[in-house]
Amino acid sequence: MPKAEKVSLLVVNVDGTLTDGKIYIDQDGNEIKSFYAQDGPALRMLMDAGIRVAFLTGRTSRSVEKIASELGVTDLFQGAEDKFAVLSGLLAKFNLGLSEVAFIGDDLTDLPLIRQVGFSFAPANARSVVREFAGFVTKADGGEGAVAEICEKILRQQGKWDELLSGYL
């Protein structure tokens, strides 16, 4: 299994990882998504440890903008048709290599990143082919703590978990 010692950037697909993948559309066409409350503090801990976080999704939604803003995630990419092109831009922006990137995704459009980054994750309920290629499959489903699980895993492998956790004790 790949190790997360080198991870400097976590790229998170949104639908199916931060959410359970269900998309509700009300009678006025507004999109409604459900985010798991424990993922937010875990992402903040990761950022407190100096690891950048980016959200990358093929859809566009105001709720994703709101959650990114609330969490302090400034690298938000919505409506991305070519996720690898977006990742390439992030690599250039932060002067990073693929080995320094962790990614979590759940669907076919995530496979190019799953297969190329240094540390790849899939939630337990990801498509089977995505789970096959991911370096690590979480115990939690997407939208049910999968992101919090990987944040903890990265922080533990980098030896930063205990120090950051002490701020909550």
pLDDT digits (tens, 9 = 90+) for 69-95: 999 999 999 999 999 999 999 999 999
Q: What is the pLDDT of residue 42?
A: 96
Q: In the chain, how many domains are there?
A: 1
Which residues pair with residue 11 across a beta bridge? 54, 103
Q: What is the pLDDT of residue 39?
A: 97
Res 2 pLDDT > 80: no
Residue with the bigger pLDDT between 150 and 5: it is 150
The counts of H helices and E strands in the chain are 7, 8
Q: What is the mean pLDDT of residues 64-71?
A: 96
**Residue 158 counted as domain residue:** no
pTM of the entire structure?
0.94
Give the Cα separation of 73 and 57 in Å (integer).
14
**Residue 165 counted as domain residue:** no
**Residue 162 counted as domain residue:** no
Q: What is the pLDDT of residue 30?
A: 87
pLDDT digits (tens, 9 = 90+) for 45-59: 999 999 999 999 999
Number of residues written out for the chain: 169
Q: What is the pLDDT of residue 85?
A: 95
**Residue 156 counted as domain residue:** no
**Residue 148 counted as domain residue:** no
**Residue 1 counted as domain residue:** no
Nearest to 59 by CA among 79, 29, 34: 79
Nearest to 56 by CA among 82, 20, 26, 24: 82
Domain span at residue 66?
9-140
CATH code of the domain containing 107: 3.40.50.1000
